[in-house]
Structure 1
Amino acid sequence: MNSAPPASAPSGLAALTGRVIFGFVGTWVFALMAANLVPVLIAAMVQDLGVDIAAAGALTTGMTAGSALAMFVTNRFIARADRPRLGRIGLVLMVIGYGVPSAVLTVPTVMGGLIVGGIGAGIMIATGTAAASSTRNPDKTVTTIMIINRLGASALLAIAPLFHNDLRSVLVVIAALGVVGLLLAGGLPNLPESALAPAPAAGAGASAGDARLRRTMGGAAFAFAASILLWSLTEDMVYSMTSVLAQQSQISPETNSALLSGKVLGGLVGALLAPLALRWIGRSWSFVLIIALSTLTKFVMVTSTTPVAYTVAILVWGAMYGAILVLYAGLAAIMDVTGRTGVLVSGFYLAGVAFGPLVGGQLVGVLTPLQYAITVTVPSILFAVVLFVIARRNRKLERGNTTAIAVGDAVRDEAAAAAGPR
């Protein structure tokens, strides 16, 4: 009895060369820089525009929501798009969105500019996310890009005091990144035509297999997206309220700022540890272990009344956050070679990031610390369960460090299995 041969990777998938890495840096990494500078943007708007902190927070929420919306729209045609060209469209919007307000510093221009810039960033994130699925080893690609992102974010936050909360300087820096990105975006890989080629006919078995596969993948993708929306919402409900939580734990604002920088740096450590966890215990158990640690430390942060407990919790939480970003993005990239699943999931992730501060601000003063802790930790448990199930259902998703699953190849495998022994 001969078994069906393993599915081969679609030809034409990109290797992670220097040019390709720079393509991701010029789009995906640079697009995330504005989001990493949100606390600096808020402080600068309060100082230079005279708006209150709630209004400044609402403006940055609009920016991030614009990114999420742009990702959902872009996802409709991301599979066959010319990704370098699409990335450059996003970069032009980023340059205009942040460049114009830096020259005309008024509330209306900043408001409009942040939304335009956010839309451009969303297009860039969608393009980079989808392109990761078109590389030979999506896990390696995602890990590399996330490490670079964490390094960039740490560097930007380290030099942020040099801006002295000057809004014009911050906007100029973001716009300048967009200009540099225009020079680098050409390295983004497109989806090879072979990845979208239809599977050869194999009778009724192929038809049934095709329908079953598409139903399964669709359901998994949307379960993934829904759970990550709740998880990222609650993560930012905690992150955006750290000033309140730090005060509750008798920590000064200055110390809390240093801890936030440590949290971001911890994300770099987590991004480095994630591939090791994937190799040693597999993706599903990595999710369970890392999300469990993240959930526990998040609970401690919200309920803590001592500096030591809060300090240890926020640093470990930051490391776990970086590891989860690498693992979730890698899983989404491998699930679908076209990149549409990755863009869908990341769009819902950004939507949670956008509205986390808004929801957190409404609830933190109404609920007790214990009630707030339960509110932000239950979705994390759901998230862990969903990702565990998705990863365990397919050995290729579980072991990682593989090429993305091509829809045509997966249909071919299932059709062969349905046909039985030859």
Structure 2
Amino acid sequence: MSNISPPNAAASGLAALTGRVVFGFVGTWVFALMAANLVPVLIAAMVQDLGVDIAAAGALATGMTAGSALAMFVTNRFIARADRPKLGRIGLVLMVLGYGFPAAVLTTPAVMIGLIVGGIGAGIMIATGTAAASSTRNPDRTVTSIMVINRLGAAALLAIAPIFHNDLRTVLIVIAALGVLGLLLAGGLPNLPASALDATGAVDTADGRVRRTVGAAALVFAVSILLWSLTEDMVYSMTSVLAQQSDISPETNSSLLAGKVLGGLVGALLAPLALRWLGRSWSFALIIAISTITKFIMVTSTTPVAYTVAILVWGVMYGAILVLYTGLAAIMDVTGRTGVLVSGFYLAGVAFGPLVGGQLVGLLTPLQYAVTVTIPSAIFAAALFVIARRSRKFEQGNTTAVPVVKAAAAQPDTAPVQQH
């Protein structure tokens, strides 16, 4: 016979992935990431229409992404109890103003200020969506669905980008329009139920405040993903140089970059299968190993075939890693604070990767550069392998982010499941 405990009240209060909830994520998280995906187009448009050089345009893009990362860190201080739809709309308003104003006043100072304001808005939106994913019943499924939608949207935007003719005003209007549409959709974002927050033990019952402690695993996770994303973008931002080294034309390289984005969609779809077949820890080990090898080949390659195969496989692995790491961060903490912390460090790496890569690519030999960008990947894989192995919940995935042990301890009369 079996004694089956009643459902965990904290877990049952989490949001299901309904159509309204999905649209809420699309209107905030996905739209914010789409703005980031248009950075290469923005850089080219700024060079053409503002007359700035590539270094200055890249610095402006770095400022935009750094603003997003900073906004995430600030937002993380109150994300647990925040009204997520309202917070998401604040980010969307900043996004509309940040990109809409310079579209009307197309000057270098206006674009500079607008990109930073828009980047801050995007950071608030990403933080809100990331935290909201932890408040759903199945964070892994939520993350996979949103990342697949994001990859589809990014691929579609990049596919139609040539019709913009690198016109800066058009690109800014498109991003601002996404923000306006997001204002209509953001209401579907789920908030964290009080029962789930209480189950974490993070609430100080004396004054009702949420303690903002972050575990050692979350800190190791955040630092390792900073190193990984930094080196990933040190490669991505230097693809024009690396492609030329492999005798690939700029036009062909643009097509390969689009192929890489589509590969990310394939990787996002494959990640749940890898999680189911291999478990999270071995999925991380295998996928990051393949990604690291392909990065090494890209940097050291001198032939078109090797470079082409490497960048396309690298794109697939990148999409899979995004899904797996975001899912792990989501189930580590139902309040979403761990997810926002980790994603903030990821964005910081994305922001400064082009800057560091631009300084080092001309100073180091291809072999030295390859070693520089691959060692952090090995550290990242080792850290995530250990974190995923710490808990069966982390390892298996497809589970709620509610700390079940603590929630069960709060209900001493509830008997555990026993099989006879």
TM over 0.5: yes
Q: TM-score range by the shorter chain?
A: over 0.9
Change (3 A) 1:5 1:367: farther
1:333 aligned residue (330, 335, 341): 330
Contact 2:100 2:173 in 1 (8 A): yes
2:243 aligned residue (242, 246, 260): 246
Contact 2:199 2:406 in 1 (8 A): no
For 2:7 and 2:183, how far apart are their aligned partners in 1?
37
Change (3 A) 1:415 1:10: closer
3-state DSSP class of the match of 2:11? coil
Aligned AA (1:27): T
Instruction: Count residues with an aligned counterpart.
Output: 401
Contact 1:10 1:192 in 2 (8 A): no
Counterparts of residues 181-220 of structure 1 (less than 5 Å): 181-197=182-198, 218-220=215-217
- CA drift of 1:416 comes to 10
Contact 1:24 1:188 in 2 (8 A): yes
- CA drift of 1:405 comes to 3.0
* Residue of structure 2 equivalent to 1:15: 16
* Residue of structure 1 equivalent to 2:66: 65
Residue 324 (1) aligns with residue 321 (2): yes
Gap regions ≥5 residues in structure 1: 201-213
3-state DSSP class of the match of 1:10? helix
* Residue of structure 2 equivalent to 1:162: 163
For 2:263 and 2:7, how far apart are their aligned partners in 1?
38
* Residue of structure 2 equivalent to 1:203: none
Counterparts of residues 22-421 of structure 1 (less than 5 Å): 22-197=23-198, 218-406=215-403, 409-411=404-406
Gap regions ≥5 residues in structure 2: 202-211
3-state DSSP class of the match of 2:14? coil
Aligned AA (2:223): A
1:124-151 deviations in whole A, cap 9, x for unaligned?
0000000000000000000000000000
- CA drift of 1:411 comes to 3.1
- CA drift of 1:69 comes to 0.1
Aligned AA (1:411): K
For 2:200 and 2:326, how far apart are their aligned partners in 1?
27
1:247-279 deviations in whole A, cap 9, x for unaligned?
000100000000000000000000000000000
- CA drift of 1:291 comes to 0.2
Change (3 A) 1:180 1:416: closer
For 1:286 and 1:405, how far apart are their aligned partners in 2?
23
Q: Quick one: percent identity of the two aligned structures?
A: 84
Contact 1:98 1:113 in 2 (8 A): yes
* Residue of structure 2 equivalent to 1:204: none
For 2:408 and 2:12, how far apart are their aligned partners in 1?
17
- CA drift of 1:11 comes to 3.1
Contact 1:98 1:172 in 2 (8 A): yes
- CA drift of 1:33 comes to 1.1
Aligned AA (1:350): L
Contact 2:137 2:399 in 1 (8 A): yes
For 1:392 and 1:415, how far apart are their aligned partners in 2?
26
Contact 1:4 1:416 in 2 (8 A): no
1:291-319 deviations in whole A, cap 9, x for unaligned?
00000000000000000000000000000
Change (3 A) 1:363 1:29: same
Root-mean-square deviation (CA, aligned residues, Å) is 2.0
Contact 1:246 1:252 in 2 (8 A): yes
3-state DSSP class of the match of 2:109? helix
3-state DSSP class of the match of 1:382? helix
* Residue of structure 2 equivalent to 1:206: none
1:36-58 deviations in whole A, cap 9, x for unaligned?
00110000000100100000000
For 2:286 and 2:229, how far apart are their aligned partners in 1?
18
- CA drift of 1:348 comes to 0.1
Aligned AA (1:258): S
TM-score, reference length from structure 1: 0.92
For 1:12 and 1:249, how far apart are their aligned partners in 2?
54
1:76-130 deviations in whole A, cap 9, x for unaligned?
0000000000000000000000000000000000000000000000000000000
- CA drift of 1:12 comes to 1.4
For 2:381 and 2:4, how far apart are their aligned partners in 1?
33
